[in-house]
Homo-oligomer: A and B are copies of this chain.
Amino acid sequence: MALSDLRDVERNEAGIATVVGILKQRLGDRFQTGQSIREQHAHTTTYIPNQAPDGVAFVETAEEVQDIVRVCAEHRVPVIAYGTGTSLEGHVNAPGGGISVDTSRLNKVLVVNTEDLDCTVEAGVTREALNSHLRDTGLFFPIDPGANASLGGMAATRASGTNAVRYGTMKDNVIGLTAVMADGTIVKTGGRARKSSSGYDLTRLLVGSAGTLGIITSLTLRLYGIPQAIAGGVCPFPSVEAACRAVIQTIQLGIPVARIELVNALQMRAMKNYSKLDYPESPCLFVEFHGTDDGVKEQSALFGEIAAEHGGGPFLWTSVPEERAKLWKARHDAYWSSLTLRPGAKGLSTDVCVPISRLAECIADTEADIAASGLIAPIVGHVGDGNFHVLVLMDMNDPAEIERAESFVQRLNARAIAMDGTCTGEHGIGQGKLAFIEREHGAGVGVMRAIKQALDPLNIMNPGKMPG
């Protein structure tokens, strides 16, 4: 089994040439075929090789997406939706070539309904752009995968991130969407009602489908009131296991933590150096509470007590925005800081998620496995959800090391699946985890394939990806 499963997708050279010709004519400057732009629109973030599309279309309307999909369908050419390219699993690669549909110009916030706590945005709006737009409304969109990703891309990969423990994932926060299907049909799913029993849940079928069933062009999102007070802090622990025990107790006591992030000792060292912060070099929990002034004070105190029970502390927290921002900036930059641990190495990111009762055991076994495998692999985790990332830093010139990394990842994913968990809590299958989908879903993969074949019989929508 290879680290990533780069399935062959046959190139339809004649079809591609025709489509490139048509789109150049129709879109003019908004259709680009230069090598550098094409490579920027393929996978750039991990060890997975870059497989560039044949052209990049900078679309401005859903109707343009529809037109491109129709042209591609007619000539049987792949269409790959592109948001900001921050996927870690090769979702935007073009293994059989084809057209990248860049949604960055679909950047309008269409409507904000403050009374209903929802908004409708075009797919290319990024989460930071949305939150800037919302600044004066008292509302915000909480899902925060770290990168300033596009909301369409976040929906397509069923993203979540640091505060899913409180606000859920894109599955919970996309109320409805508009998508261009493989035959060019524009479908509007869901509505703005808070609930519905009407028909199959197409919204949640498309959320997480990674452009393999349709291209999301706009989406309606749930918004939340900005909390009156936010408190955040960092708490060191004697071991990862002690930190996990504290997390489990915090969740089980129903303390409404907004973020609770584990960083292991190696990752702390990287962040300390990269972000120039005075952190301890032991496993830490980064914690944030949202609520009233009194509420966050009470929650912080309670968490401090729980931490102390597990040998952790001191828990230093602040509700001063600038200090919190600095703290979380360091956590956000964890991925980039970890790459500095081994300059020149390529990162292989893992993303298992297990029931929280199994978390301490899963991380402890994984740390032991990393040590036994002789790998350099820091850990960060959205541990309130049971989700953690090991970033294996590989010397791509050392086949033996790559093989050790490969075996490690297989054991890690198998470990999580055996614990009733998943190989991917938030990154998606893409190309990087395609090798594990059968093990995780068994006969369910057959159902996924049947749906894919029914909705995309020509296999033009992001081919070579899940469900494969």
A-to-B contact residues, CB < 8 Å: 113, 115-118, 157-160, 164-165, 169, 171-172, 181, 185-189, 191-202, 204-205, 207-209, 213, 225, 248, 252, 254, 351, 353-357, 385-387, 416-417, 420-429, 433, 437, 440-448, 450-451, 453-455, 466-467
Q: Given that A204-B204, A205-B205 are contacting pairs, would A181 and B354 also be in contact in the complex, using a CB cutoff of 8 Å?
A: no
- Indicate if the CB atoms of B199 and A420 lie closer than 8 Å: no
A426 to B188, CA, bound (A): 20
- Indicate if the CB atoms of B189 and A200 lie closer than 8 Å: no
Chain B proximity of A168: nearest CB distance (Å): 8
Q: Given that A115-B356, A444-B188 are contacting pairs, would A451 and B193 also be in contact in the complex, using a CB cutoff of 8 Å?
A: no
A115 to B467, CA, bound (A): 32
- Indicate if the CB atoms of B192 and A355 lie closer than 8 Å: yes
- Indicate if the CB atoms of B200 and A160 lie closer than 8 Å: no
A355 to B386, CA, bound (A): 33
A118 to B160, CA, bound (A): 21
A116 to B386, CA, bound (A): 10
A186, A194, A448: which has the most chain B beta carbons within 10 Å?
A194
Q: Given that A172-B172, A198-B429 are contacting pairs, would A455 and B450 also be in contact in the complex, using a CB cutoff of 8 Å?
A: yes
Shortest Cβ distance from A160 into B: residue:
B195
Q: Which residues of B contact A157 (CB under 8 A)?
A: 197
- Indicate if the CB atoms of A386 and B447 lie closer than 8 Å: no
Q: Could you write out 19 A-B pairs with CB less than 8 Å apart?
A: A115-B248, A115-B356, A164-B194, A185-B447, A187-B446, A188-B441, A188-B442, A191-B421, A192-B421, A193-B353, A193-B425, A194-B353, A194-B355, A197-B427, A201-B205, A201-B207, A202-B447, A204-B205, A225-B254
In the complex, given contacts A193-B385, A199-B448, what are 6 additional A-B residue pairs having Cβ atoms less than 8 angstroms apart? A115-B248, A165-B194, A193-B422, A196-B353, A197-B429, A199-B429
- Ranked nearest first, the 7 interchain pairs of A and B with the lowest CB-CB distance are A454-B454, A115-B357, A192-B420, A204-B204, A193-B353, A196-B422, A158-B197
- Indicate if the CB atoms of A453 and B454 lie closer than 8 Å: yes
- Indicate if the CB atoms of B424 and A196 lie closer than 8 Å: yes
Q: Which residues of B contact A441 (CB under 8 A)?
A: 188-189, 198-199, 202
A454 to B454, CA, bound (A): 6
Q: Which residues of B contact A186 (CB under 8 A)?
A: 443
A87 to B410, CA, bound (A): 46
Q: Given that A201-B204, A201-B205, A451-B455 are contacting pairs, would A443 and B196 also be in contact in the complex, using a CB cutoff of 8 Å?
A: no
Tell me which of B191, B204, B416, B445 contacts A199 (CB under 8 A).
Answer: B445
Q: Which residues of B contact A443 (CB under 8 A)?
A: 185-188
- Indicate if the CB atoms of B208 and A197 lie closer than 8 Å: yes
- Indicate if the CB atoms of A448 and B202 lie closer than 8 Å: yes
A157 to B199, CA, bound (A): 9
Q: Which residues of B contact A445 (CB under 8 A)?
A: 199
- Indicate if the CB atoms of B420 and A187 lie closer than 8 Å: no
Chain B proximity of A130: nearest CB distance (Å): 19
- Indicate if the CB atoms of A444 and B201 lie closer than 8 Å: no
- Indicate if the CB atoms of B254 and A447 lie closer than 8 Å: no
A202 to B450, CA, bound (A): 12
A428 to B196, CA, bound (A): 8
A169 to B196, CA, bound (A): 9
Q: Which residues of B contact A433 (CB under 8 A)?
A: 198
- Indicate if the CB atoms of A444 and B187 lie closer than 8 Å: yes
Q: Which residues of B contact A169 (CB under 8 A)?
A: 195
Shortest Cβ distance from A194 into B: residue:
B385
Chain B proximity of A162: nearest CB distance (Å): 12
- Indicate if the CB atoms of B387 and A193 lie closer than 8 Å: yes
Tell me which of B193, B208, B351 contacts A200 (CB under 8 A).
Answer: B208
Shortest Cβ distance from A183 into B: residue:
B446
Q: Which residues of B contact A466 (CB under 8 A)?
A: 199-200
- Indicate if the CB atoms of B189 and A444 lie closer than 8 Å: yes
- Indicate if the CB atoms of A199 and B467 lie closer than 8 Å: yes
Chain B proximity of A442: nearest CB distance (Å): 7
Chain B proximity of A123: nearest CB distance (Å): 18
- Indicate if the CB atoms of A425 and B387 lie closer than 8 Å: no
- Indicate if the CB atoms of B193 and A386 lie closer than 8 Å: yes
Chain B proximity of A255: nearest CB distance (Å): 11
Q: Given that A199-B441, A447-B187 are contacting pairs, would A193 and B254 also be in contact in the complex, using a CB cutoff of 8 Å?
A: no
Q: Which residues of B contact A442 (CB under 8 A)?
A: 187-188
- Indicate if the CB atoms of B198 and A440 lie closer than 8 Å: yes
A197 to B208, CA, bound (A): 6
